[in-house]
Amino acid sequence: MRPTFIKKIPFYFSCLLCVVILSSCSILNHYSVSTYNTSLANAPFDVVIVPGLPYDSSKINPLFKARLLWAKELYENGITKHIIFSGSAVHSPYTEALIMKMMADSMGIPTHQTFVEDKALHSNENVSYGVALADKMGFQKIAIATDPIQSLVIKKYTKDKHKNVSILPFSIKSMPLYYKGTLPKVNEENAYVCDFIPLRERENLQIPMED
């Protein structure tokens, strides 16, 4: 028969895991709220850049939905005047930025206020290509609007390469509300890429060496 202490180890481990998770969520929520409030001092922005996510109509990524609804909220509250959606067809055969713009237009955001950057393959490129497009269009006050986790991922890169660009993450506590939200139906075929090759396969392709 095992000692009582040994029997309780799984219970103690579960309790410790819960504490760690709750603490992490609390820290992340504090970070996102603090970052948002700091950036808000620079509002309204000429444009916000919204990084894309892979699109799958049968099972939409909750963060895909959250980022779109967050962008809509920022526009409707006058925090931004325009939106650039950024993202190529990376892991699914749909151009992320285009499908997001189509949905944003269907949600009532004026189509001439939303734009597509369709070259970015990852988070840092969402920032760099998005900022390049914003600069080309003459926008000066620029921010990245995304979820708390990605905002942490791009924080250092943005600070090093684009220090005048703000970050507008939504809070952890608001995530359940966005997850429960709905997105409009759109003609997704307009964003479909024929002969699509997932990024992981593109990266594995052997490039012949020149003589």
In-domain check, residue 144: yes
Over residues 182-206, the pLDDT tens digits come to 999 999 999 999 998 888 888 776 4
Rounded to the nearest integer, the mean pLDDT of the chain is 86
In-domain check, residue 161: yes
In-domain check, residue 211: no
Q: What number is the average pLDDT over the span 100-127?
A: 97
In-domain check, residue 209: no
> Does residue 169 register a pLDDT over 50?
yes
> Does residue 14 register a pLDDT over 90?
no
Q: Whole-prediction pTM value?
A: 0.84
Query: Would you state the pLDDT for residue 24?
Result: 54
Run of H or E residues at 84 = strand 83-86
In-domain check, residue 4: no
In-domain check, residue 14: no
More confident residue, 147 or 25: 147
In-domain check, residue 95: yes
Dihedral of the alpha carbons of 7, 8, 9, 10, in degrees to the nearest 10 = 90
CA distance 152 to 156: 8
49-82: string of b/e by CB count within 10 Å (b at 16+)?
Answer: bbbbbbbeeeebebbbbbbbbbbbebbeeebbeb
Distance of CA 51 to the CA centre of its chain: 4
| Total number of domains constituting the chain | 1
CATH number, position 170? 3.40.50.620
CA distance 98 to 118: 7
The end-to-end CA distance of the chain, in Å, is: 72
Q: Which structural domain, as residue segments, surrounds residue 148?
A: 39-182
Over residues 60-103, the pLDDT tens digits come to 899 999 999 999 999 999 999 999 999 999 999 999 999 999 99
167: pLDDT confidence band, cut at 50, 70 and 90? very high
> Does residue 40 register a pLDDT over 80?
yes
In-domain check, residue 66: yes
